[in-house]
Amino acid sequence: MSFKNKVAIVTGGGQGIGLALCERFLKQKATVVIAEVDSKSGSLAEKYLSAQGNVQFIETNIAREKSVQSLVEQTVKRYGRIDFLVNNAAISCNKAIFAITFAEWKKVIAVNLSGAFLCSKYCADYLKKSQGAIVNIASTRAMMSEANTEAYSASKAGIAGLTHALAISLGPEVRVNCISPGWIDTNQYLHTPNPALAPMREADHSQHPAGRVGLPGDIAEMVIYLCSEKSGFITGQNFVIDGGMTKKMIYG
């Protein structure tokens, strides 16, 4: 499988799962555009990946329409096409419903859900021309929750709905699918170690029916498959990649 001469935009590609996705697209010979609001992580990602293929960082705030328009215009001006869009960028604000402000709620929805809508909207014409694909990154939080995650969970559930709506609206030229990751250990794809992300314990791995916590590569493999011709009969679907945790009954 090769994506030679094809162009992929990955939002939130500066680090974490997004960085792993960029790396995987480059391995498939695609040209990669890193759409990232954090200029430091975007620049570091571009530097890290530059030896692996053709990659460009474009500073982008996907919650702002003009910024998304500029991303698309710059990409098309430089490369002439867009083949794949991965809506990966997301933020969270986990506060009790009594404490989270309406402004904080709106910011999460603006980035996680409206951002995916805007990127899809402005890439749509080019994706139709290239018979391309969109892959949205949701979360198992779209189906299950911990306390105080209303904004994040609602935004990710919205992504799942946006996915099947786009699949109907943009098909058959553009296929649109969604991935809902579970617990993914992103430490190896962070430019600066996050002290809040403790090293994985055996207990963390063993609670998963698959026997381990997920890795960014697990998500990247599915993204590549969903962008490839091998998945030509798949659209509008949400693929849960969580080591089986959403199927595990827990009592007590």
- Which residues are identified as catalytic? 152
At 135, list the tokens: 């892959």
- The angle that helices 39-49 and 16-27 make with each other, rounded to 10 degrees, is 30
Evaluate whether 172 touches 229 at the Cβ level (below 8 Å).
no
The residue type of 178 is C
Strand, coil or helix: 10:
strand
Tokens 């694909």 -> residue: 133
Backbone dihedral region for residue 53 (phi beyond 0: left; psi -120 to 50: alpha; all else: beta) = left
Evaluate whether 185 touches 212 at the Cβ level (below 8 Å).
no
Annotate 147-180 with DSSP letters as a single string.
TT-HHHHHHHHHHHHHHHHHHHHHTTTSEEEEEE
Give the integer Cα–Cα distance in Å for 159 and 113.
6
Q: CA separation (Å) from 212 to 82, 144, 193, 195?
A: 35, 20, 21, 21
At 196, phi and psi to the nearest 5?
Answer: -75, -15
Evaluate whether 59 touches 11 at the Cβ level (below 8 Å).
no
